[in-house]
Structure 1
Amino acid sequence: MSEFLSQSGLLKGVKIIDTTINLPGPVAGAILGMLGAVITKIESSSGDPVSSSPALYRTINGMKNRIRLDLHNPQDKQEFLRLVSEADGILVGMRPTALAKLGLDYEILKAINPKLIYCHVAGFPKDSKKKGTPGHDLTYLAESGLLSTLFSDLTKVTTQPADMTGALYTAIAFLSGLQFRNSTGTGTSIEINLYESPAILGLIPNHDNRLSKNLQGDQICYRVYETADGWIALGALEEKFFNSFVQAIDHPEWMGKGDKLAEPGDEIFEAMKKIFKSQPSGYWVSIGAQHDVPLEEVRSLSPSKEFSLPYRF
């Protein structure tokens, strides 16, 4: 957890109950916890499936107060409702029928705490024909058209865009609800669905096919090149960066030609491939630093317990 953020106290005193499992809701709770909120995670006797990966579970939930409650048990249910009555907000993630059956739907909890900010992380939106349909990240991406847009190999989907963007939107929704409550004195209910959440990742290809192609790594100035010991990413989209780079490698005659397609047989492209492969990645990173060119080594993710936000205050 980011110690800087946890000590900044931006949400100091805000109490949030997290009843969600898996990824979207719990990650949203972690984000809000990093901003200073006190997060109480309620888990059933079966726990959270993510606990099968202890390191990931601790990263997402380690900063939360965790309580086991069986909401079918009257005594545990009363303790849960007591917590709701004292909370600023709650994160729920079940389908509407399950929420109603457990007494977790908004109307019931609003009667207990009218100032409650209720964030429901759903699969499909409540005004769609697929409302209540079960799903996971892969199926939301498939239905939205983003699976084939974001991944060239449909058999290797290595990230969870729907879950993670859903988590971000949930945190934003809660902050918006908090502002609304502070302005009006009343709580609110907000639904965040995982089907529409990752749409922002397809914003460019959906609106500008030309720009999308420019950004997919097909230009000489904007692509990944093999080096003597790995790979380097050249991000010289702006002409000034590309011109600076080609001057640094003693090829000023290539200035202004970075937007050419990186096609096999192209004289500049073939030459650049050879030049990059002649030196290790570290050398090219140093060239970038010396000449103000976006050049970064392609690294692998390293195991980390750190989960922080890209904010600085």
Structure 2
Amino acid sequence: MTKDSNQSRLPLSPFVVLDLTRVRAGPTAVRQLADWGADVIKIEAPVDADHETEMGGVRLGPDYQNLHRNKRSLTVDLKTAQGKEVLYRLVKTADVIVENYRPDVKHRLSIDYETLRAINPKLIYASISGFGQDGPYANRPGYDQIIQGMTGMMSVTGIPGQGPVRAGIAIADTTAGLYGAMGIMMALIDREHTGLGQWVQTSLLESLLAVMDFQSARWLVAGEIPKQAGNDHPTIIPTGVFTTQDGQVNICVSGQVMWERLCRTLRRPEWLVDEKYLTNKARSKNRESLNSELNEIFAQNTNTHWIELLNQSGLACGAVNNVAEAFADEQVQHLGIRWPIQHPQLVGASIVGQPFRTNLHRASVKSYAPSPGQHNNEILSNIGFSNEEIQALKDCHVI
């Protein structure tokens, strides 16, 4: 299978990945592999002209372009015997296959782990689901907001007394995708020693419980049930949002040394001996009065003043931005996480890039999200289909 010459310089360029994923969690996992050089073949159902016209806006939309860059597209009807044969031939030389069907679907289609492992014992088979591959909820549909509610995420998000609030991003989908990608790369490293593939499994449910991290640990270790704290940190005070003359800023004062530094920087030495604020426990108990006093101080000057003053003092302080302001920030621009795409219909568009690099490698966008079947001939030719066989598959709507 051919690879873009630039992609061949990236660490995952030796690997071929078959992408059977949909929606968000699965595509997020595969995007990690594609951006770092893997030859990703996005396998999707054939579409008729009317359906493609209907989907055209979706495929040009920000979400689709952001999730499916750096891939090639092959359309295959996996419900047909000929379509399964196409997939089986691809599996023979693939390194990874990623799917996020409900667990029962893969077995109905005869594309489950055991079936494909018999074709290629070195195959890494990755499954991302809502609730896991087995257990009482295995065949339930799992969506991000449902998982946010079930894991307790919504119970710790929002203003106290407001009731449960969802996070403003698809955090369960995204984290499951990232954990899935981590599992795939772990399995590829293990294969170097064993010569064997394996079945990598993760779910939205367990991934979000893991990302809840210290909130989960508060219950598991200390028996505390975390509650909403709004913009305050649950345990470190003062941490939160404060209104200035021209906007809002976040501060985070972690630990007694930083607290004492804040008192001196804000010229409030009396706080250093005030019993209400002597310890973090006392400040947590009296957070409302402390926040009120801080708001009075921050209202006396601008965002820029406070951000510069506190950072110069070694205290963490930053603006509360909207997304446009975030990408306009000079440090964000310096880091280069905004990737321009050269798309004929989306002039001037950009997507969200990779948030890490090494001293030897930096990922980039090599191709925008493909249209369905854009690479049918190329991919099928590379695995031995003749022009006549490809045309026959088109004629019977298998591809």
Residues 22 and 49 in structure 1, CA contact (< 8 A), matched pair in contact too:
no
* Paired AA for residue 192 in structure 2: N
Name the TM-score, length of structure 2 as normaliser: 0.69
Q: Which is further off, 103-112 or 251-260? A: 251-260
1:154 matched residue in structure 2? 164
* Distance of 2:122 and 2:166 partners within structure 1: 44
Written as runs of structure 1 = structure 2, the 5 A alignment for 1:163-202 is: 163-202=173-212
Question: Does 2:141 align with 1:125?
Answer: no
1:25 matched residue in structure 2? 26
Summarize the Cα distance change of 1:74–1:220 in structure 2 as closer, same or farther, 3 Å threshold: closer
Per-residue displacement from partner, 1:80-101 (whole Å, max 9, x unpaired)?
A: 2222111101101112321122
* Distance of 2:267 and 2:298 partners within structure 1: 13
* Distance of 1:211 and 1:50 partners within structure 2: 44
Q: How far has the Cα of 1:292 moved from its partner?
A: 1.3
* Distance of 1:159 and 1:227 partners within structure 2: 27
1:223 matched residue in structure 2? 240
Q: How far has the Cα of 1:157 moved from its partner?
A: 4.2
Written as runs of structure 1 = structure 2, the 5 A alignment for 1:5-154 is: 9-45=10-46, 51=58, 54-151=61-158, 153-154=163-164
Summarize the Cα distance change of 1:117–1:156 in structure 2 as closer, same or farther, 3 Å threshold: closer
Q: How far has the Cα of 1:172 moved from its partner?
A: 0.9
Written as runs of structure 1 = structure 2, the 5 A alignment for 1:159-308 is: 159-208=169-218, 216-217=232-233, 220-255=237-272, 257=277, 259=280, 260-261=283-284, 263-264=287-288, 266=289, 268-302=290-324, 305-308=351-354
* Distance of 1:33 and 1:160 partners within structure 2: 21
Summarize the Cα distance change of 1:249–1:298 in structure 2 as closer, same or farther, 3 Å threshold: same
Residues 50 and 57 in structure 1, CA contact (< 8 A), matched pair in contact too:
no
Summarize the Cα distance change of 1:33–1:274 in structure 2 as closer, same or farther, 3 Å threshold: same
* Distance of 1:182 and 1:6 partners within structure 2: 21
* Paired AA for residue 233 in structure 2: G
Q: Which is further off, 84-93 or 37-46? A: 37-46
SS at match of 1:10: coil
Residues 22 and 50 in structure 1, CA contact (< 8 A), matched pair in contact too:
no
Q: Which has the higher contact order (CA 8 A, sep 6+)?
A: 2
* Paired AA for residue 17 in structure 2: I
* Distance of 2:249 and 2:82 partners within structure 1: 59
* Distance of 2:272 and 2:357 partners within structure 1: 37
Per-residue displacement from partner, 1:76-122 (whole Å, max 9, x unpaired)?
A: 43332222111101101112321122221011111111100000112
* Distance of 1:78 and 1:27 partners within structure 2: 27
* Paired AA for residue 37 in structure 1: A
Residues 131 and 138 in structure 2, CA contact (< 8 A), matched pair in contact too:
yes
Q: How far has the Cα of 1:206 moved from its partner?
A: 3.2
* Paired AA for residue 310 in structure 1: F
Summarize the Cα distance change of 1:282–1:106 in structure 2 as closer, same or farther, 3 Å threshold: same
Q: Return the index of the structure with the highest Cα Rg.
A: 2
Provide the identity percentage: 25
Q: How far has the Cα of 1:211 moved from its partner?
A: 11
Q: Which is further off, 147-156 or 276-285? A: 147-156
Q: Which is further off, 269-278 or 289-298? A: 269-278
Q: How far has the Cα of 1:7 moved from its partner?
A: 7.9
Number of equivalent positions: 307
Q: Which is further off, 58-67 or 238-247? A: 238-247
Q: Which is further off, 150-159 or 179-188? A: 150-159
Structure 2: segments with no counterpart, 5+ residues: 1-5, 328-349, 360-399
Per-residue displacement from partner, 1:171-202 (whole Å, max 9, x unpaired)?
A: 11101111221111111112211111101233
Summarize the Cα distance change of 1:185–1:100 in structure 2 as closer, same or farther, 3 Å threshold: same
* Distance of 2:42 and 2:262 partners within structure 1: 51
* Distance of 1:234 and 1:104 partners within structure 2: 51
Per-residue displacement from partner, 1:197-234 (whole Å, max 9, x unpaired)?
A: 10123332233377967994366521211111221111
Q: 1:310 aligns with which of 356, 379, 387?
A: 356
Q: How far has the Cα of 1:158 moved from its partner?
A: 1.9
